């Protein structure tokens, strides 16, 4: 009986792997395991779905070094499941571990997708609206839990616009410590006022302390961040409304 269960899981899992692989631009390794059996499938149930992938290329220029996802028990469409498509009848909780390399992060920052998401940031500085227009940013992961950012932007204040280049060294929020900005230096553009730096730091604090974030129809929460030399690992909790055939949707 156990062998039959293993065979059912294998057939369904391989079908799901094939569908996801076809939706990717490139993948080095992929492994999907649908934890169920024929009896549970006919009842519209599964104990969970695990997904593991390495070297995933998404939207042609966004690369993920490693991703692992495990869902709770799920209610599925039994007819779709028999053909390798996992359609959820209800939203399901999942936990994901995502690893990005320094090269991956900088490649993503210059991608068309990320560039289209970047927008002006407005700040109220002593009753005056000051605007930042991001133009370029690079990330470096030197180790010891630190992230170094080097960037260039346009600063609009008091009716004037001027370029500004900067370097910043920070430690992201983890389970054991709050987010910390260790240094911020202007390398071009004449510097900024203390009041503007204070407003910028307050805005960054608000963003980093949000209880959850939303992307399309998914809500997710970053539980922990681990920064090592050359790589960054995210531990994320999310609620998935659908197990998609496209990894673009699956990758949070």
- Tens-digit pLDDT profile for residues 208-223: 666 666 655 556 788 8
Q: Tell me 145's DSSP state.
A: T
Q: How many Å apart are CA 70 and CA 52, to the nearest integer?
A: 9
Nearest Cα neighbor of 36 from 67, 68, 11, 69 is 11
Q: What is the pLDDT of residue 243?
A: 56
Q: How many Å apart are CA 138 and CA 150, to the nearest integer?
A: 5
DSSP 72-95: --EEB-HHHHTTT---BSS-EEEE
Q: What is the pLDDT of residue 70?
A: 86
Q: How many Å apart are CA 142 and CA 148, to the nearest integer?
A: 7
Q: Burial level of 226, CB count in 10 A (0-12/13-18/19+)?
A: middle
Q: Using 50 as the pLDDT threshold, list the residues of the chain that sit under it.
A: 1-5, 244-252
Q: CB within 8 A of 212, min separation 6: which ones?
A: 219, 220, 221
Phi, psi of 16 (to 5 degrees): -65, -40
How does strand 45-46 pair with strand 74-75?
antiparallel
Q: What is the pLDDT of residue 183?
A: 86
Q: What is the pLDDT of residue 200?
A: 75
pLDDT digits (tens, 9 = 90+) for 157-205: 877 888 989 998 988 887 778 888 888 888 887 777 888 777 777 777 7
Residue 19 three-state SS: helix
State pTM to two decimals: 0.76
SS3 content of the chain, % helix, strand, coil (to 5): 25, 50, 25
Q: What is the pLDDT of residue 89?
A: 64
Tell me the CB-side half-sphere exposure of residue 85, using CA atoms within 13 A.
10
Rg of the chain taking only CA atoms, in angstroms: 22
Q: What is the pLDDT of residue 211?
A: 60
Q: How many Å apart are CA 228 and CA 9, to the nearest integer?
A: 36
């Amino acid at each position: 009986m156990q062998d039959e269960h293993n065979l059912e899981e294998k057939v369904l899992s391989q079908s799901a792997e094939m569908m996801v692989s076809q939706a990717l631009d490139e993948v080095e390794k992929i492994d999907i395991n649908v934890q169920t059996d024929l009896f549970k499938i006919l009842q519209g149930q599964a104990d969970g779905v695990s997904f593991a992938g390495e070297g995933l290329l998404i939207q042609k220029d966004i690369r993920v070094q490693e991703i692992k996802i495990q869902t709770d028990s799920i209610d599925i469409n039994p007819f779709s499941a028999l053909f390798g498509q996992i359609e959820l009848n209800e939203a399901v909780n999942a936990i994901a571990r995502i690893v990005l390399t320094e090269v991956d992060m900088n490649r993503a920052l210059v991608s068309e997708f990320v560039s289209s998401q970047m927008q002006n940031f407005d700040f109220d500085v002593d009753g005056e609206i000051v605007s930042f227009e991001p133009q370029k940013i690079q990330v470096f992961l030197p180790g010891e839990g630190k992230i170094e950012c080097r960037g260039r932007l346009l600063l609009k204040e008091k009716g004037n616009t001027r370029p500004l280049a900067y370097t910043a060294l920070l430690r992201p929020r983890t389970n054991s410590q709050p987010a910390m900005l260790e240094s911020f230096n202007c390398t071009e553009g004449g510097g900024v006022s203390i009041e503007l730096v204070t407003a910028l730091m307050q805005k960054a604090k608000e963003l980093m302390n949000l209880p959850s974030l939303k992307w399309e129809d998914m809500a997710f929460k970053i539980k922990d961040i681990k920064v090592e030399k050359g790589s960054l690992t995210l531990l994320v909790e999310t609620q998935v409304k659908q197990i998609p055939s496209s990894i673009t949707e699956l990758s949070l």
